Amino acid sequence: MDTEILLKILRPTDMPAWQDCVWKRQACEQMTCVMCGRRITMERDFMVEEALEQTSIGKAIASAAASEPKNDRYENAEFWEDDAHHGGFNIGASRQFEAEHEVDADGPDWMSYELARQFLEWREKIYGTLPIGSGPFPPWIETEAGRELLWYANLLPIKTGRLHAARHDINRGRAAEAELDYAYTRYVVAQSLLRVIEALSSLRSLPNLPIDIAKLQDELSGLILSVVEI
């Protein structure tokens, strides 16, 4: 039922494929991709710099560079911090959430939308069970379904807030700017929901989970109906 509803929300036809690599847990990793190619190149540069720093000349250069104004080459690369390609669910997902929260703080306040707050509460029922810090993590989180759930549950509050904001802009007559954003965000929300549904189904068979899967599924069904109405 939920899946049928979501599949009706189609991918915008004029959306470039590389945009998927902005939000997916597992990006395409192709050098020809605008997002991945740029990130892979930066990673290589970074590794070369790190290796160089271990040499005596490198240490001298690094020492000199430290006294120079900071090179902000990496500063705009939010996806670098997101670490999406490694499926880094703990640090990456939280950083992504925080980063987007910061970015959106300058625009419409996504938390002002009831549905975004509901998704945040829903997300907390999962994230609230996680150990504080970097681990060790319980085995269920280390499964593919566990990682998928954490990643995409994390996207839903901010993305549904953004969807509402785009709808709000369209209704205010700013359709030209907002329609593409609306179509794209709606697609990302639908895709994230599909992955969350699949992850919950997979996790349901695991014993001794700290989360109530059936309850999460029930609540999610209600939230999905609200998403479709935006």
| Interface ranges with Zn ion (CB under 5 A) | 21, 27-28, 33, 35-36
Nearest to Zn ion of 22, 62 (CB atom): 22
Block residue for tokens 């829903």:
122
Taking a C-beta distance cutoff of 8 angstroms, is the pair 42, 101 a contact?
no
Nearest to Zn ion of 18, 137 (CB atom): 18
CA 203 to chain centre: 20
Nearest to Zn ion of 36, 220 (CB atom): 36
Shortest Cβ distance from residue 87 to Zn ion (Å)? 14
Nearest to Zn ion of 28, 170 (CB atom): 28
Nearest to Zn ion of 27, 203 (CB atom): 27
Taking a C-beta distance cutoff of 8 angstroms, is the pair 145, 202 a contact?
yes
Distances (CA, A) of 63 to 15, 48, 54, 59: 45, 16, 12, 6
Block residue for tokens 């179509």:
183
- DSSP of 93-133: HHHHHHHHHHHHHTSS-GGGSHHHHHHHHHHHHHHTTSPSS
Taking a C-beta distance cutoff of 8 angstroms, is the pair 142, 87 a contact?
no
